[in-house]
Copies of this chain bind each other. A is one copy, B any other.
Amino acid sequence: MDIGIVGATGYGGADLIRILRNHPEVDNLKLYSSSQSGESIQNSFPHLQRLSEVRLQDINPGLMGKSLDVVFMATPAGISSELTPELLKEGLRVIDLSGDFRIKDSNIYEEWYRKKPAPVQWVEKAVYGLTEWNKRAVTDAQLLANPGCYPTATLLGLLPLVQRSLLEESSVIIDAKTGVSGAGRGFSAAAHFSETNENFKIYKVNRHQHTPEIEQELARWNGRAEPVTFSPHLVPMTRGIMATMYAKLTDAVTEEEVRKIFQDSYQQAPFVSVRKAEDFPETKQVYGSNQCDIGVSYDDRTGRIMIVSVIDNLMKGAAGQAVQNFNVMFGFEETAGLDFLPVYP
């Protein structure tokens, strides 16, 4: 396979390189960057000393169409919406890590992203790549919209119960926490060390662009889904997301029954683990891996279920899941290139 990565000098690109360099089905990895073409990738990422020198290439859809089988777009929202259609027209299959093709309703995209939406015809064709829940569609996708980091952790934690209508629709609250790498490699106050270290903050209150993505997918699995409260917070660490989710149950199910539902939902899922009673996952326990670990607790004092879901935001929340989708799209083992353990501690 000949693979291209556009946006190779960002953090999504770094983890794609890390994974694909050791992927058993990848022969050839080409890196693209509009701003740094001609330069060596080691200039941007000195940790890649072990790679033989690879030069970043200019983005030329025509040439890329001739020499590649698939392109990973690891570019920010607003760039992919313009570039991806050009690649698709060349017959390439594209796995897009940005949010540009995830939201089916262009008005909603525009409202939450404050950017021009991607062409409707491509948005319609895009397959939402939450692998565990959409595997059949992923198989045939030409354009794969890779889920956002928060929606991945959230949906894997909610869907088993939402699908079975076990949650009171209006009661869902997602209190989410992310490491700083989610802000990308670009400079900002939120990513400035002295402003962020020894600090914990909430941000984009009631206006984070992952909210409509979560709601769209909940509604896909349960027509009565209602708006959710989604509150993202910033943790002084580099990698990791935890979503702590609260809801009322519609039915008198026990915690053990809920856990059983999760285990059934994910028994075929190589990357999702459901923890035992009173065992809750920590973000570091999935660090650097494509794992999603889930813990469940029911409190009879309040009649409320709580679900805790953790992922590495750059892996299962971005590059890892993108490769998982790549595997499914091309008929490889779902775990190919991803079958390694977290780095701990």
Q: Could you list which residues of chain A lie within 8 angstroms of chain B, going by C-beta atoms?
A: 11, 14, 17-18, 21-22, 45-51, 170, 173, 175, 177, 179-181, 183, 185, 187-188, 191-203, 205-206, 226-229, 231, 233, 235-240, 242, 244, 246, 270, 273, 275, 278-289, 291, 293, 295, 297, 299, 301-302, 304, 306, 308, 310, 339-345
Contacts of A342 in B (CB 8 A): 18, 47
Asked if B194 contacts A302 (CB within 8 A), the reply is no
The answer to whether B188 touches A191 (Cβ under 8 A) is no
The residue in chain B whose Cβ has the minimal distance to the Cβ of A314 is: B345
A-B contacts besides A187-B187, A198-B284, 17 pairs, CB < 8 Å: A11-B345, A14-B344, A45-B344, A49-B273, A49-B285, A185-B194, A192-B192, A193-B196, A193-B197, A193-B238, A195-B284, A199-B283, A200-B237, A201-B280, A203-B280, A229-B306, A246-B246
Cβ B287 vs Cβ A198 within 8 A: yes
List chain B residues, Cβ under 8 A from A343: 18, 287-288, 343
A68 to chain B, nearest CB (A): 22
- B302 near A202 with CB under 8 A, answer no
CA distance A242 to B187 in the complex (A): 25
User: Separation in Å of the A282 CB from the closest CB of chain B?
Assistant: 4
Q: Which residue of B lies closest to A196 (CB)?
A: B193
Q: Is the CB of B46 within 8 A of A281?
A: yes
- Nearest opposing residue in chain B for A339, CB measure: B22
Which residues of B sit under 8 angstroms from A308, Cβ to Cβ? Answer: 202
**CB closest chain-B residue, reference A176:** B175
Minimum CB–CB distance from A213 to chain B (whole Å) comes to: 15
Residues from chain B with a CB closer than 8 A to the CB of A299 are 206, 229
Contact B200 A235 (CB under 8 A): yes
Would you mind naming 25 contact pairs between A and B with Cβ atoms under 8 Å apart?
A14-B344, A14-B345, A17-B341, A18-B344, A46-B279, A48-B341, A50-B273, A175-B231, A175-B246, A179-B198, A181-B194, A187-B192, A192-B193, A193-B197, A194-B238, A195-B345, A197-B197, A197-B238, A198-B284, A200-B284, A202-B308, A229-B306, A235-B236, A238-B345, A239-B345
Specify which chain B residues have a CB less than 8 angstroms from the CB of A281 in the assembled complex.
Answer: 46
* Complex: chain B residue closest to A345, CB-CB: B194
B199 in contact with A237 (CB, 8 Å)? yes
Q: Quick one: copies of this chain in the complex?
A: 4
> In the complex the two chains form, what is the Cα distance from A278 to B273 in whole Å?
38
Write out the residue numbers on chain B whose beta carbons fall within 8 Å of the beta carbon of A246.
Answer: 173, 175, 229, 246
- What residue in chain B is nearest A199 (Cβ atoms)? B284
Q: Given A48-B341, A173-B173, A297 and B185 touching (CB < 8 A)?
A: no
CA of A181 to CA of B308 in the docked complex: distance in angstroms?
Answer: 24
Residues of B within 8 A of A14 (CB): 344-345
Q: For residue A17, which residues in chain B have a CB less than 8 angstroms away from its CB? A: 341
Cα distance A2–B295 in the bound complex, in angstroms: 34
A333 to chain B, nearest CB (A): 14
